[in-house]
Amino acid sequence: MDFPFLKEAVTGLFTKSSCAMYPAVPSEAAPNYRGRIVYHPDKCINCMLCERVCSGNAITHTIEKTDEGDKITRTFYLGSCTFCATCMDFCGHGAIEFTRDYHMIATKEEDLMVSGSFIKKPPVKKPVPPKPAAAPAAAPAPKAEEKDAEACKPDKPVEAPKAEAAPVAEVKPRDDGKPVQDPAKCVYCTLCAKKCPAGALTVDRAAKTWVLDEDICVGCGTCAEACPKKAILI
Partner 1 sequence: MFKNLIKESTGKSPWLFHINAGSCNGCDIELVSVLTPRYDAERLGFKLTGSPRHADIVVVTGPVTAQSLDRVLRTISQVPEPRCIVTMGSCPQSGNVFRGSYAIAGPLSKYVHVDVDVAGCTPKPEAVIDGLALATKILAEKRGQME
Q: Which residues lie near partner 1 (CB under 8 A)?
A: 18-20, 22-23, 27, 29, 33, 35, 55-58, 77-83, 102-107, 109, 111-112
C-alpha R_g of the chain = 27
- Closest distance between partner 1 and the C-beta of residue 58, in Å? 8
- Residue whose CB is less far from partner 1, 18 or 66: 18
- Closest distance between partner 1 and the C-beta of residue 97, in Å? 17
- Residue whose CB is less far from partner 1, 25 or 137: 25
- Closest distance between partner 1 and the C-beta of residue 9, in Å? 16
The whole-angstrom separation of Cα 146 and Cα 125 is: 13
The whole-angstrom separation of Cα 97 and Cα 174 is: 28
Burial class (CB in 10 A: 0-12, 13-18, 19+), 20: exposed
Burial class (CB in 10 A: 0-12, 13-18, 19+), 135: middle
- Residue whose CB is less far from partner 1, 8 or 109: 109
- Residue whose CB is less far from partner 1, 55 or 62: 55
Beta bridge partners of 203: 210
- Closest distance between partner 1 and the C-beta of residue 35, in Å? 8
- Residue whose CB is less far from partner 1, 78 or 232: 78
- Closest distance between partner 1 and the C-beta of residue 81, in Å? 6
- Residue whose CB is less far from partner 1, 58 or 91: 58
The whole-angstrom separation of Cα 226 and Cα 122 is: 19
Nearest to 221 by CA among 71, 39, 50, 44: 50
The whole-angstrom separation of Cα 205 and Cα 134 is: 9
